[in-house]
Amino acid sequence: MSGTSRRKADAPPADARQIIGDKALKNFVLIGRLFHYQHQIADNKAAAIFSINTLLLGALAFSRLVRSGSNIVAPENAAALLSLIILCALLLSIAWSTFCVLMTIYPRRQARAQSAVFPVASAEDSSVPAFVARTLPLSNEAMAQEVAKLIHADARISVFKYRWVNRASTGLGFALLDWLLLHAISLVG
């Protein structure tokens, strides 16, 4: 019994193209999961940067430097003028970093693959029976082409997200540097 089942398992498949198509679909699914994971990482980085920006703004609002306010409105000496300039740079850095974080979220709203079968951003536009009716008649090759289009759209979204996350990180770095300079000047002056 085990000899006959082993021979059937070792026999070449009737349609080798079907097996290759199945492997391609499995690989496409794995690549799609990888891009989804990359999107989650970029979103998590953006959330952390946004949290730090909010923390900086809150700390700045309760800071002794801003509450005293007298030397910020009408700087009396060079240290007060330098503090005012660095405070403006800090606020601009936080604003830039926050804008970049918001741009990281933007591709989700604009993600429209060129696929007719899998409308990425408009899942509510299609009912389940309509989706099944479009999907079932597809061959493996047609399904692989549709999935490849989705992967290409996900790759473009990943590049977009990481570009804006890197810019947000740079803005956060400048904001933290400005924060340190602002406090260093307040300690010296």
**Number of domains, the chain:** 1
Is the residue at 126 inside a domain? yes
Is the residue at 128 inside a domain? yes
| pLDDT of 12 strictly over 60 | no
| pLDDT of 166 strictly over 90 | yes
Contact 189, 64 (CB under 8 A): no
Mean pLDDT computed over 137-148: 74
- C-alpha to C-alpha distance for 131 and 23, rounded to whole angstroms: 23
> What is residue 133's predicted lDDT score, i.e. its pLDDT?
74
| pLDDT of 81 strictly over 70 | yes
Q: What is the DSSP letter of 13?
A: P
In terms of residue numbers, what domain contains 161?
14-188
pLDDT in tens, 14-59: 444 454 566 766 777 788 788 888 888 988 999 999 999 999 988 8
Mean pLDDT computed over 138-164: 80
Is the residue at 37 inside a domain? yes
| pLDDT of 74 strictly over 70 | no
Is the residue at 8 inside a domain? no
Is the residue at 7 inside a domain? no
Mean pLDDT of the chain: 75
Is the residue at 118 inside a domain? yes
Mean pLDDT computed over 105-130: 59
Question: Is pTM, for the whole model, over 0.75?
Answer: no
Which pLDDT band holds residue 117 (cuts at 50, 70, 90)? low
Question: Which one-letter amino acid corresponds to residue 15?
Answer: D
Q: Which residue has the higher pLDDT, 175 or 64?
A: 175
Conformation bin of residue 138: beta by default, left when phi > 0, alpha when psi is -120 to 50: beta
- C-alpha to C-alpha distance for 38 and 155, rounded to whole angstroms: 9
Is the residue at 179 inside a domain? yes
- C-alpha to C-alpha distance for 25 and 135, rounded to whole angstroms: 14
Which pLDDT band holds residue 187 (cuts at 50, 70, 90)? confident
Is the residue at 53 inside a domain? yes
Mean pLDDT computed over 64-76: 58
Q: Which residue has the higher pLDDT, 156 or 71?
A: 156
Neighbours of 160 (CB within 10 A): 17
pLDDT in tens, 82-98: 888 888 999 999 999 99
Q: Which residue has the higher pLDDT, 7 or 176?
A: 176
Question: Which one-letter amino acid corresponds to residue 49?
Answer: I
